[in-house]
Amino acid sequence: MRLTKLRVVFFSILFLVILNGFVSQDAFFAIEQKDVELTIPKGFPKPFYDFKKNKLTPEGFKLGRRLFYDPILSKDNFTSCATCHLRFAAFAHIDHALSHGVGNKIGKRNVPAIQNLIFKDTYMADGGVNHLDLQPIVPLTSEAEMGETLESVIQKLQNDSVYPALFKQAFGDSIITSSNMLKSLSQFVGLMISSDSRYDKFVAGKEKFNENESNGLKLFRARCTSCHKEPLLTDNSYRNNGLVPDEKLNDEGRKLITGLESDKYKFKVPSLRNVAMTYPYMHDGRFNTLEEVVAHYSDAKFYSTGYDKDLLKTTGMTESEKIDLVIFLRTLTDKTFLYDRRFADPFPYVKHD
Ligand code: HEC
Ligand code: HEC
């Protein structure tokens, strides 16, 4: 008798646990209107990207999320955007100097973080793309990335058992167009906004820094912000930060786009938000640690010719200054962004048929 009662209790608990699992998974992946409201963080500039021309909706965002994580977008049906852009690394690809795409082909550049994109006027290390909606065409069609053509991707999506209905929900039309596909991707990546690191909380007066961190911030403001301008930590310009060009890659940077000799070896100043999570560093991933990066800036002996004169402010740091600067850079990690459930991979949960 007692045994049956125990069993009833046991199975009821088990039932509740399982039920709870389903309910909370639903909540975890659900996207509601409030999840797609765009709020510009305090102190941030006006965005370049205009969401009035691409209305944010839960359906549009969810479609973009699914596409971002879906390998169907690649030639081998194996490589998704998220293969290279890992969520826990602020969507960079840690531990890989150069990107790896379809057939394990090696690309020409390091995979950058994806964050605060709507505040950028151009994309890529050379600024070769000037509109967020056009950006995915590069990885989709690049031989060393996803190796596809737009026609073939659209065909695959149109023939899929779920996508036509998802496009209908998002854009009112089950005929899939590349324009709608690109818009939904922009809704997803465009809302990836990082503005809640310890540094942000310190600036807002909500958190205290210890002595090393405050000293690091002081050094950073004295030496680095002429390029890594607050609060985005980039001024969106192209600069030569003194890296000796890698002979094999011979990446000429901005010159590839403008053709100007004066732009040779200049690269877009990257934001340093979440930088502790995104190693290796620079357009070619040549440095593995922040200590190496700071050592590079500190020692003009290793600069290439043609370096930007603002680098004269970065040279000659003492060992303890270098340490404090790295400690400060770690305060730029934004856990609210890194753990934001809206950007999680929906696939283990989305049913495939
Ligand atoms: C094979 C790896 C790979 C894949 C797959 C990939 N990317 Fe990238 N992504 C990169 C690399 C490398 C760069 C930097 C390229 C450069 O600077 O020239 C980049 C840059 C970007 C940028 C620009 C970031 C900035 O701040 O300039 C965005 C946005 C982006 N990718 C989104 C996507 C989307 C969306 C997809 C899927 C459609 C995708 N990526 C697929 C490797 C990849
Ligand atoms: C003259 C402008 C300039 C100054 C000053 C400058 N940087 Fe940079 N920084 C750049 C550029 C440009 C890049 C990108 C180079 C590339 O992609 O190869 C960069 C890249 C970086 C990166 C790598 C980011 C990544 O995601 O790969 C770090 C870290 C960094 N800088 C830290 C600093 C620190 C710390 C200081 C101050 C000591 C500083 N920078 C001063 C222009 C500058």
Instruction: State pLDDT tens for residues 203-251.
Output: 999 999 999 999 999 999 999 999 999 999 999 999 999 999 999 999 9
Q: What is the model's pLDDT at position 2?
A: 64
pLDDT at 17 over 70: no
Q: What mean pLDDT do residues 40-65 have? A: 97
Compute CA distances 322 → 209, 214, 220, 328, whole Å. 17, 13, 10, 10
Nearest-angstrom CA–CA distance, 50 and 118: 8
Q: Ligand 2 pocket: which residues have CB below 6 Å?
A: 125, 223-224, 226-228, 239, 241, 243, 267, 269-270, 272, 275, 278, 281-283, 290, 293-294, 297, 308, 310-311, 314, 325
Instruction: State pLDDT tens for residues 270-301.
Output: 999 999 999 999 999 999 999 999 999 999 88
pLDDT confidence band for 348 (50 / 70 / 90):
confident
Q: How high is the mean pLDDT of the chain? A: 93
CA 153–ligand 2 middle distance (angstroms): 36
Nearest-angstrom CA–CA distance, 150 and 188: 19
Looking at all shown ligands, the one closest to residue 128's CA atom is 1
Nearest-angstrom CA–CA distance, 260 and 115: 29
pLDDT at 353 over 60: no
Q: In the chain, what percentage of residues exceed pLDDT 90?
A: 86
Instruction: List the residue whose alpha carbon is closest to atom 19 of ligand 1.
Output: 111
The set of residues, in sequence order, having a beta carbon less than 8 Å from that of 325 and lying 6+ positions away, is: 216, 219, 220, 223, 294, 317
Residue 4 vs residue 203, higher pLDDT: 203
Looking at all shown ligands, the one closest to residue 268's CA atom is 2
Nearest-angstrom CA–CA distance, 234 and 273: 9
203 CB-side CA count, 13 A: 19
The region of weakest confidence among 97-101, 175-179, 322-326 is 97-101
Q: What is the model's pLDDT at position 10?
A: 73
CA 300–ligand 1 middle distance (angstroms): 31
Instruction: State pLDDT tens for residues 245-276.
Output: 999 999 999 999 999 999 999 999 999 999 99
Cβ atoms of 265 and 255 closer than 8 Å: yes
CA 208–ligand 1 middle distance (angstroms): 35
pLDDT at 104 over 60: yes
Compute CA distances 346 → 23, 30, 63, 134, whole Å. 15, 10, 10, 24
Cβ atoms of 129 and 123 closer than 8 Å: yes
Looking at all shown ligands, the one closest to residue 140's CA atom is 1
Q: What mean pLDDT do residues 120-146 have? A: 95
- Amino acid letter, residue 36: V
Ligand 2 atom nearest 278 alpha carbon: 26
Q: What is the model's pLDDT at position 301?
A: 87
pLDDT at 3 over 70: no
Q: What mean pLDDT do residues 305-312 have? A: 94
Indicate the top mutation candidate among 116, 228, 291 to test ligand 2's pocket, ranked by most ligand atoms within 8 A of CB. 228
Ligand 2 atom nearest 329 alpha carbon: 35
pLDDT confidence band for 5 (50 / 70 / 90):
confident
Q: What is the model's pLDDT at position 25?
A: 67
CA 108–ligand 1 middle distance (angstroms): 12
pLDDT confidence band for 69 (50 / 70 / 90):
very high
Burial code (b: 16+ CB inside 10 Å, e: under 16) for 241-266 equals bbbebeeeeebbbbbebeeeeebebb
Q: What mean pLDDT do residues 18-36 have? A: 79
CA 267–ligand 2 middle distance (angstroms): 10
Q: Which of 20, 72, 44, 90 is nearest to 338 (CA)?
A: 90
Instruction: List the residue whose alpha carbon is closest to atom 6 of ligand 1.
Output: 81
Q: Which of 334, 94, 86 is nearest to 194 (CA)?
A: 334
Residue 353 vs residue 123, higher pLDDT: 123
Cβ atoms of 172 and 184 closer than 8 Å: no
Cβ atoms of 267 and 253 closer than 8 Å: yes
Sign of the CA dihedral with 96 first, then 102, 104, and 107 last: negative
Cα angle for residues 79, 160, 61 (degrees, 5° grid): 70
